[in-house]
Structure 1
Amino acid sequence: MWTLYVGIFIALVWILDYFLLDRRQFKLVRRLNHPLRLPLIGQAWLALGIKPSQTREFIDKLNKGYNQLFPNVLCIYIGNKLEVGLSNYKYVERILTSTKFIAKSSLYDFLGDVLGEGLLFSTNQKWFERRRIITPTFHFKILGQFFEVFQKHSENLCRELENLADGRTFDVTPHINMTVLKSLCETAMGCEINEKDYSYLNAVKELSYHVATNFLTPWHRIKLLYNLTPTKRAQDKCAKIIHDFTTKLIEERRKMLIKSTENQDLSDLDNDEIGLKRKMCLLDVLLQSTSNGKPLSNDDIREEVNTFTFAGHDTTTIATCFTLYMISKHVDVQQKLNKEIEEVLGKDEVTFKSLSEFKYLDMVIKETLRLYPPVPIISRRLYDEDDFGDFVAPGNANYNLFLYSLLRNPANFEKPDEFNPDRFLENITPFGFIPFSAGQRNCIGQKFAMINIKTTIINILRNFEIFPGFIESKIEFHITLKSNGSFIALQKKIK
């Protein structure tokens, strides 16, 4: 009797799976690399017990085990939802330059629920309109003003680090993180963050943790189940703190601009005027902008400011911390950087103009970003099939671009796991080095981030000698690249 029940159950599972599965899609997948798929659950069984610290090894193992047909292409079903993984620069270029892949992956939906449909998550006409509005914020003149903020906070950071400059190992991450957050809040919202506002900063950091938990937990993608979890309640609490803080600031800034005699639309200013009439921040740009002839609502503005702060603080922190970490481990690199600082600045203070003269520092940061991309995986959504030449890409699927694997691909870089800034003296394979993504949806704030990172690194190197700590950094794949810390030691320089 039990045999009959089991047989009926198995038959029902197969029948249900048959009707839930996109048959055309599955036909195309069968021509590509894919592990054994089970009815209803797909290949989700492969990830059982995988921890964040094991994600990189897990992806590498899958790629090596199923790359016989199309190298660096892998198809995985989570239930009946198809995820395609890619780390071949030709296919990555196809995706990032095609208008068919303009939509973000459905994996980001839970982030949109918290932050709204800002530039990072919006698509189609809304994305084009927001990109047009926000682009002037990163005008050369305004970036020059942002430098003043970065310089102020990096100098404060150096004073803070003096208390730790005794040769002992410590994790520099929390110090860099708070400095970056303060800088971002001031450049995004035009306000200085003080101790009474730390609840906002802590909420931003805590939200990053909850988002990562969602990203790595497949059943959290079922909203009915996720809404019952403690993670959802904690995430909602963080979101409320962030929204309340930003909304209050928007309302105050709006009233101030209405009273101001300098209230002028940024689009009316020519290149020489932008940033000269008064200091601009992202919030000012949004408050003075229109969409379809109407001012942006408070909700529109809030989602852009929150997205900018959330997306920018973690990635910039990661890039800065890993750059310091790599400098600490390579004495020759640190010596070259010190020499470059002496040649460019001498006894003078660093300026916005002088940043462009730090060519070797540029290469050091780029090499760090190659080895430790702040966003190790980016994802796009393809709704209709697309011919890649070698194969037909299935529609109705998420396409995950493994930047971490791409940037360490031996086909693109000689001795890819070695830290060698000089490799950037030569031409790099197009789309082989894209730590800030590429194409239409490339990171709009990449110049902003580089100015922030360079300013911080220069000021630290002018004040301290950097030594490797006694604890190695171990990386994990979340939405961003996480680690157990960036451990270094400092010694104050005698001037």
Structure 2
Amino acid sequence: MRVVGVMTDLVPSMDIQQWSGIHPAVWYGAGVCLLIYLYGKWRLRVLPNAGIAGPPPTIFLGNLKQMATLGIVDPCRRHRKTFGKVYGQFLGSHPFIFVHDLDILKEVFVKNFANFKNRMAMFQILNMNPYPIDMGLIFARDEAWYRLRNIMTPSFTGAKLKHMCGHINTAAESLARNLVEAAEHTDATYVKEYFMAFALDTIAATAFGIQIDSQKDLSHPLAVNAKNVFPSSFFNDNCLLLSVIFPSLKPLLKLCGVYTFTSSVVNFYRETAERIVVQRRRRPEEHALLLQKKVDFLQLLLDAEDRTTNGKAQAKRLSSDEICAQVCVIFGGGFETISTSLQFMSYVLATHPIVQRKLVEAIHSEIGEEEPTYDNIQRIEYLEHFIRETLRLYPSVPLAARETASTVEIKGYTFPRGSVVVAPTLEIHRDPEYFDDPDSFDPDRWKETINPISWLPFGYGPRQCIAMRLAMVEMKIGLIHVLRRVEFVRLPDTPQVMEFDPKAHGRLAPRKAIRLKIELRQHQQTTPSIS
């Protein structure tokens, strides 16, 4: 007993380095690493503790490695078969719960909207947006979102969209002329380039009231900046990935100029919007004459007011920075989604010539050679069905996500606070439980009643894309002008089954850019070449 007592007295008094032969800094470093490791493991217990199964994550990375290799879209079908309609994955340490069950999604998007009102797409998770992008409607949260939505909703009514059709027709006529030239001079065309030009021309006109032809004038500042809205470099991409793995590094990375939107592009649109606003306020009568036939989004935002007074007589307008944020989001989001969707539509038309012929006949029988308007395009039912079916098979945004404000149980599943509920749009659209022969292209399926929540290219519920009707009008008018003059024909290397790019995270894009042959329609063969 005496020996034990002597040893016990001696050990604490001995220097740790003499006792272990290891420098104390090594011990401290090992202790810190152990704590970090345990913290990382603890964060990955959120979903298992809630009873949500899924593929095993890696500490700190979560399932990022699999996502980087396979993308988000492809594994969804496999996980659906393995884990059922509800399963979990981790983006870094962010818990994602993928839901294929329409009843649960209706609860998330509509019935229990108050608990899932905040969107949580990739940009929100990164939270690396330059000021004032976070004021954009798609990024706004809680009361800020309610306020913006109430102010902006009147800008997207049918009456307002009717006045925007003049801008859209001008851009669509330019698109048709450019495709006629392609038919006359080239045997194979990368169609995305033409649709990007159309989307850009349309957005420039509907957002700012500025008429450009970006296919002819590639050096126009609006064209140059729109194509550079998302920075792409090895340094920036990897720093953004680092911000997902270690969120605490975000302030430092922002100081180094790492953003999801190119800050110089944001500044360009901000300065452009401010300059136009000053001009219109100085000469309101002159601009009022211009707006008699055509309306642009910037003016609608200037005129918009929040009329939800909560019992008080007040009207709140958008600030200059808020207006700039909305315009930047329109350019960044609408430019890519519209052009990608039209690219898929041209591919479908080329690979389904019978559908293309029926669509041309439907356009001719319903409106003939009339100029497309907001009212007459609604009569072309087959055009509506064609677009819906294309967006079912090829939704440009393949996921819709909402953040869980507080822990809730739905249909026996627990959704922890802070988790992100994801509707895998593409896989729901191709699920045989919801669509017969889901991988086939059949516009006529839309003659029947279909559960509205099974079609999610624009989201669903109160946070459905506010510009959905504008996007549909743009695509309809663009297709009408084009199909009156040219037809799309597949080439020998046009794939029969579309393969998607696994690296196009957050959006759906073909693995290879789509090339098609453009041919003049029969009645266009004898028309003179357009210079």
Which bin holds the TM-score, normalised by the shorter protein? 0.7 to 0.9
Match of 2:56 in 1: 36
Superposition RMSD on alpha carbons, in Å?
3.5
Structure 1 pair 353–216 and aligned structure 2 pair: CA distance change class (3 A): farther
* Cα displacement (A) at 1:39: 4.4
Match of 1:467 in 2: 489
What aligned pairs does 1:194-209 form with structure 2 within 5 A after superposition? 195=217, 198-208=220-230
Match of 1:272 in 2: none
Match of 2:76 in 1: 59
Structure 1 pair 388–464 and aligned structure 2 pair: CA distance change class (3 A): same
Match of 1:240 in 2: 264
Q: Which of 424, 431, 449 is 2:471 aligned to?
A: 449
* Cα displacement (A) at 1:427: 1.1
* Cα displacement (A) at 1:189: 1.4
Deviations 1:13-41 (A, max 9, x none): 66545456359834543x22222344454
Match of 1:257 in 2: 281
Give secondary structure in 2 for the equivalent of 1:50.
Answer: helix
Match of 2:7 in 1: none
Is 1:133 paired with 2:151?
yes
Q: State percent identity of aligned pairs.
A: 21
Deviations 1:58-100 (A, max 9, x none): 33333333x1xxx222212344331222232222222111221
* Cα displacement (A) at 1:485: 1.9
| Count of aligned positions | 475
Provide the rounded CA distance (Å) in 2 between the counterparts of 1:235 and 1:79. 18
Is 1:72 paired with 2:88?
no
Provide the rounded CA distance (Å) in 2 between the counterparts of 1:174 and 1:164. 11
Give secondary structure in 2 for the equivalent of 1:90.
Answer: helix
Provide the rounded CA distance (Å) in 2 between the counterparts of 1:339 and 1:44. 48
User: For residue 264 of structure 2, what is the amino acid of its counterpart?
Assistant: K
User: For residue 85 of structure 1, what is the amino acid of its counterpart?
Assistant: F
User: For residue 480 of structure 1, what is the amino acid of its counterpart?
Assistant: R
Match of 1:174 in 2: 193
Match of 1:365 in 2: 387
* Cα displacement (A) at 1:363: 0.7
Is 1:119 paired with 2:144?
no
Match of 1:287 in 2: 302
What aligned pairs does 1:180-195 form with structure 2 within 5 A after superposition? 180-193=199-212, 195=217
Deviations 1:459-492 (A, max 9, x none): 1111012211333353224222122223221111
User: For residue 423 of structure 1, what is the amino acid of its counterpart?
Assistant: R
Deviations 1:244-294 (A, max 9, x none): 243233233334234324899xxxxxxxxxx98564322112223346645
2:100–2:424 contact (8 Å) kept in structure 1: yes
Give secondary structure in 1 for the equivalent of 2:200.
Answer: helix
Moved more, 232-241 or 364-373: 232-241
Q: Which of 84, 90, 105 is 2:103 aligned to?
A: 90
Provide the rounded CA distance (Å) in 1 between the counterparts of 2:181 and 2:242. 45
Match of 1:108 in 2: 123
What aligned pairs does 1:427-446 form with structure 2 within 5 A after superposition? 427-446=449-468
> Gapped runs of 5+ residues in structure 2?
1-19, 307-313, 524-531
What aligned pairs does 1:268-283 form with structure 2 within 5 A after superposition? 277=292, 279-283=294-298
1:189–1:283 contact (8 Å) kept in structure 2: yes
Structure 1 pair 22–201 and aligned structure 2 pair: CA distance change class (3 A): same
Structure 1 pair 354–160 and aligned structure 2 pair: CA distance change class (3 A): same
Provide the rounded CA distance (Å) in 1 between the counterparts of 2:239 and 2:366. 45
Match of 2:94 in 1: 81
2:44–2:57 contact (8 Å) kept in structure 1: no
Match of 1:25 in 2: 46
Structure 1 pair 459–111 and aligned structure 2 pair: CA distance change class (3 A): farther
Provide the rounded CA distance (Å) in 2 between the counterparts of 1:8 and 1:242. 45
What aligned pairs does 1:215-226 form with structure 2 within 5 A after superposition? 218-221=241-244, 222=246
Provide the rounded CA distance (Å) in 2 between the counterparts of 1:102 and 1:187. 28
User: For residue 169 of structure 2, what is the amino acid of its counterpart?
Assistant: Q
* Cα displacement (A) at 1:235: 5.3
2:269–2:328 contact (8 Å) kept in structure 1: no
Provide the rounded CA distance (Å) in 2 between the counterparts of 1:207 and 1:235. 11
Taking structure 1 as the reference length, the TM-score comes to: 0.85
Deviations 1:193-249 (A, max 9, x none): 36486343333323346499859964242467678889x758589331332243233
Taking structure 2 as the reference length, the TM-score comes to: 0.80
